[in-house]
Structure 1
Amino acid sequence: MQKPVASSKVESGTVVETTIPSRLDRLPFGRFHVLVIAALGITWILDGLEVTLVGAIAGALKESPTLQFTNVEVGITNSAYLAGAVSGALFFGWLTDRLGRKKLFFITLATYMVATIATAFSWNLVSFSVFRFFTGAGIGGEYTAVNSTIQELVPARYRGWTDLTINGSFWLGAALGALGAVYLLDTNLLPADMGWRLTFLIGGGLSAFIFLLRFWIPESPRWLITHGHPEKAEEIVAGIEEGLRRENHIFDDGELATTRLKTRSHTPLLEVATSILKTNRDRAIVGFALMTAQAYFYNAIFFTYALVLSSFYGVATDKIGWYLLPFALGNFLGPLLLGRLFDIWGRRPMLVLTYSVSGLLLALTGYLFAANLVSDSTLTIAWVIVFFFGSAAASAAYLTVSESFPLEVRALTISLFYAIGTGIGGVIGPTFLGYLIDTGSRDSVFMGYLIGTALMLTAAVIAWFKAVAAERKPLEHVARPLSHVDE
């Protein structure tokens, strides 16, 4: 093992020979990886807490003496959040590939924290929507930085399950949010115009603790090599190896593959476009289909679920949390229990399975709802089953996009497809479903659900023909780095 050395930058264009990617992939799963999962997963837990509280307060926003939103206006605010997520993903994704993963952790988290706290002081539709926009921008940036870091730090044989589990941890926060909503929205405990404000103050305040967890997460060694910091990358990997050896983990003593990379300060946007639209066109089609389908499927249904319960079943605002709690737990269990199969059975068969099953179950649930054959409780049970598969499908979309493209454009690619998919499927969905709910027609809402079914089944077909078999393969084998130099 080489001793850690002081960091020094090499000139752009220097060819570096390194075994670091192979060393990262041979690592046994240990305390370091558990801490990475915890530190990155807690972000999604916090996001789930905040988003679920917002979903639960839909009725409270309508009843607020200050805001008095309509169903359509609630949909508009949800779309503003998603529009911010689109914008933030693009901007911060571009910065993540240029400045590194670690720096963006703090920038995006600060954006989220300030905007969330500001939302608590909203006074009308415009102010609420603007603050929600910037909250979404912070979360959109988090998706790019966190997912690219997961891909580059976790060994290939665990990459699928780890990625799905971390993304699925969003729903642990959602479960906490559902419980919190029961008490925060109880007008017997808090005034109608105070409970929803506290939900944002709590979410913003809790995010401050995440800063402490993120200080020890290292920069991606893969990113450091390509940007001219091979010695710093060596120092980080050697430190991880030393820590795992102290835990008595056994390392594979097989020969390590050497990768030759030419350092660069950044990747020109023209090269990014060529990589996505020409070199990896089929992968781009898969990414677009998966992200668009899951964005509509999730955002259109989840953000309007509280409205369905209150509008069609007369569920009181302070009781919504009890319905969201099982919904959230089903969403978490899906990625947790199905995630390992993405590494064992493979990406393509599991993408087809999760997308097609969740799409068909959505159609069935929509039909039962339209025919008035389900109560509020049985509808909730149906959604738990639907999103058990749907949650794994949605998390797998991020996994597929993030591992299918070269290192130099990974973060920007994640942000681009997140932005396109969310822009088309997510921003339109909540407003559209809010409008359909306002009609008071169950058949109209059913048609909105059928659109989600069509998108999910289409994505499943595209994945069957074009998805990459990336399971258990090093990232450099799945997508050759743009800076790779042949021997």
Structure 2
Amino acid sequence: MPRTELKTITTDIPARLDRLPWSRWHLRILIGLGTVWILDGLEVTVVGNVTTRLAEPGSGIAITDAQASGTGAALYVLGACVGALFFGYLTDRLGRKKLFMITLAVYLAATACTGLATEAWMFFVFRFLTGAGIGGEYAAINSAVDELIPTQHRGRIDIIINGTFWLGAVGGSLLSIPALNTALFPVDVGWRLTFGLGLVLGLVILLVRRSVPESPRWLFIHGREEEAERIVRGIEETVQRETGGELAPAKGEITIRQRHSIGFGEIAGTMFRSYPKRAVLGFSLFIGQAFLYNAITFGYATILATFFGVPSGSTGYYYAVIAVGNFVGPLVLSRFFDTWGRRPMISGTYLLSGAILLATAWLFNAGALTAATLTACWCVALFFASAGASSAYLTVSEVFPMETRALAIAFFYAIGTAAGGISGPLLFAAMVETGNPFDTALAFTIGALLMMAAGIVAIFLGVRAERKSLEDIAAPLTRQDG
């Protein structure tokens, strides 16, 4: 296939996309692309619930509890990190649509194979590949969403989409209960059905996603401006028909020098030499939220069982309550990221959630909490923390140039995932398992202080990106006009 001819062009495509009113077309984009976080939440929760079942006699797979919950979880995290970086780089080079279809296909195949695994090594390989598909999805989807959603809605939609992880967590925790009920399904069947839940949901998403177009922003930079124009014209006609009104005139043009690809060195140099403060901001936000979440969620079942005598079979209900609080936070607070602004909302959610967890640590160490009141404290802290964590993805997606967007998301996601999935659990597991309230309170305190430190960084380094075009927040590397 011959390469497209490259030239310098002037286009108003970004302005035309940004001035569109909200419509059913945008809702379809939201459903087609945003539901990946539900898959991730479902995956993490399902595996957490079935690990003990895998090790039981007659489960149909030769694996121990430690292998399933330890090695399997670590390989899923490693796969997510590797997949994010590998597929994120390809997303910037080959296009958003091609990669968000490929990464979903990787997830579907790996999930199906996990449910059919009969040996530990098979389980490990397919957990790694499942993580790689999910990690790649984060980079491809966040970049596509931000480039298709109008400016005035970008913050709200991005925050809500990232918060749906916890909707998947609620579904995973509740749906796994009947699937693991031996009165309904045999020991070697029920746990396999839980992986089938992710497969079915993924297939539905795949069908919806087929109608999502390539990002016109990516197309015109890579020499395919005629295709970009055709897509945008079709979007405008659809939105105008669905809203029943005339579209406002687009204001603003951009001149860019088209390029087939941009080298990794130039991408890295742009992120860290041209935007060092934004890189520090992204690093701080992802590390802060990773440690706060692991301070709470990693050992929550052990904490409830050790200090309050909650039976292991009942901890899933507490987790469902926590997950609901996590989802409601972004749903309620998301609109303020576009109205009050990014800097006050990001710093505020980080500082407030950290302060609440700090108070929870003090009350826990003083013996003033029950299982119910501790869960209530966690819910309040995570109500704000979930919106803050979602804003970390929004931040790194919009504050770097378009040509680096997917890789920037992937890089900071990998940092946060590695810190949260490797060093965080190792640190907090040792503290929680001592059975000493002070050690567990210290784990809460570490997570709270790192979250608050990130909030302070956001006060000074936060970017006022609300209601601004992506091209105004960070000029494309290919831009030629001022």
- TM-score, scaled relative to structure 1: 0.92
> Within 1, Cα distance between the matches of 2:108 and 2:223?
32
1:128 maps to 2:123: yes
Deviations, residues 156-196 of structure 1 (Å, cap 9, x unaligned) = 11100000011112222222112112222334444555433
Letter in 2 for 1:454: L
CA displacement 1:371-407 (0-9 Å, x = unmatched)? 4432322222222111110110110000000000000
1:36 aligns to 2:29 (yes or no): yes
- Label 1:347 to 1:19 Cα distance change in 2 as closer, same or farther (>3 A): same
State the partner residue of 2:211: 216
Which stretch has the larger CA shift, 114-123 or 415-424?
A: 114-123
Aligned to 1:250: 245
Query: Aligned residue for 1:18?
Result: 11
Check 1:473–1:273 CA distance in 2 against 1; reply closer, same or farther (3 A cut). same
Of residues 66, 69, 91, the one that matches 2:65 is 69
Q: 1:267 Cα shift?
A: 0.9
Distance 1:64 1:310, change over 3 A: farther
* Cα distance, 1:240–1:376 mapped onto 2, change above 3 Å: same
Q: CA contact under 8 A between 2:156 and 2:335: conserved in structure 1?
A: yes
Structure 1 residue 351 and structure 2 residue 352: aligned?
A: no
Determine whether 1:467 maps to 2:481: no
What is the CA-CA distance between 1:58 and the residue it aligns to?
Answer: 4.9
Go from structure 1 to structure 2 and tell me whether the alpha carbon gap of 1:218 and 1:287 turns closer, same or farther (over 3 Å shift): same
Moved more, 367-376 or 26-35: 367-376
Q: For the Cα contact (< 8 Å) 2:302–2:433, is it kept in 1?
A: no
1:48 maps to 2:41? yes
Match status 1:88 vs 2:90: no
Are the equivalent residues in 1 in contact too, given 2:13–2:229 (CA < 8 A)?
A: yes
Cα pair distance change 1:248/1:112, threshold 3 Å: closer
- 1:330-369 equivalences in 2 (<5 Å): 330-369=325-364
Q: CA deviation at 1:306?
A: 3.1
Q: 2:446 aligned with 1:451, yes or no? A: yes
> Contact 1:75–1:430 (CA<8 Å) still a contact in 2?
no
User: What secondary structure sits across from 1:94 in the alignment?
Assistant: helix
How many corresponding residue pairs? 478
Deviation of residue 73 (structure 1)?
A: 6.7
Q: Secondary structure at the match of 1:57?
A: helix
The percentage of counterpart residues that share the same residue type is 48
Are 1:155 and 2:150 an aligned pair? yes
Q: 1:470 to 1:27 in 2, by over 3 A?
A: same
- Alignment partner of 1:416 is 2:424: no
Q: Taking CA–CA contacts closer than 8 Å with sequence separation of 6 or more, which of the two structures ends up with the larger relative contact order?
A: 1
Change (3 A) 1:10 1:122: closer
Within-5 A mapping of 1:50-449: 50-60=43-53, 66-70=62-66, 74-122=69-117, 126-192=121-187, 194-251=189-246, 253-254=248-249, 256-449=251-444
Q: CA deviation at 1:47?
A: 2.2
Deviating more after overlay: 397-406 vs 37-46: 37-46
Q: Whole-Å Cα distance in 1 between the matches of residues 165 and 181 of structure 2?
A: 24
**Match for 1:332: what amino acid?**
F
Moved more, 316-325 or 25-34: 316-325
How far did 1:32 drift?
Answer: 0.9
SS of 1:247 mapped into structure 2: helix
Partner deviation per Cα, 1:281-304 (whole Å, 9 max, x = no partner): 100000011011112222453243
Q: Structure 1's 431 and 69: CA in aligned 2 closer, same or farther, altered over 3 A?
A: farther
Instruction: Assess, with a 3 A threshold, how the Cα gap between structure 1 residues 130 and 438 changes in structure 2: closer, same or farther.
Output: farther
Query: Which sits farther off after the overlay, 122-131 or 477-486?
Result: 122-131
Residues 291, 451 of structure 2: 8 Å contact kept: no
Change (3 A) 1:192 1:366: farther
Q: 1:28 is paired with a residue of what secondary structure?
A: coil
Using the alignment, how far apart are the partners of 1:407 and 1:189 within structure 2? Answer: 51
**Which whole-Å deviations, capped at 9, do the CAs of 1:14-60 have from their partners, x for residues lacking one?**
10110000000010110111111111222222222222222333554
> Which is worse superposed, 197-206 or 142-151?
197-206
Cα contact 1:55–1:302 (8 A) shared by 2: no
Task: Name the stretch that deviates more: 177-186 or 30-39.
Answer: 177-186
Q: Which runs of 5+ in 2 are unaligned?
A: none
Residue equivalent to 1:4: none
TM-score, with structure 2 as normaliser: 0.93
CA deviations on 1:67-113 (whole Å, 9 max, x unpaired) are 3424x972443232222111110000001001101011121112212
Cα 1:174–1:287, aligned 2, differ >3 Å: closer, same or farther?
A: same
**Are the equivalent residues in 1 in contact too, given 2:36–2:134 (CA < 8 A)?**
no
Root mean square deviation of aligned Cα: 2.3
Mapped to 2, the partners of 1:289 and 1:360 lie a distance apart of 17
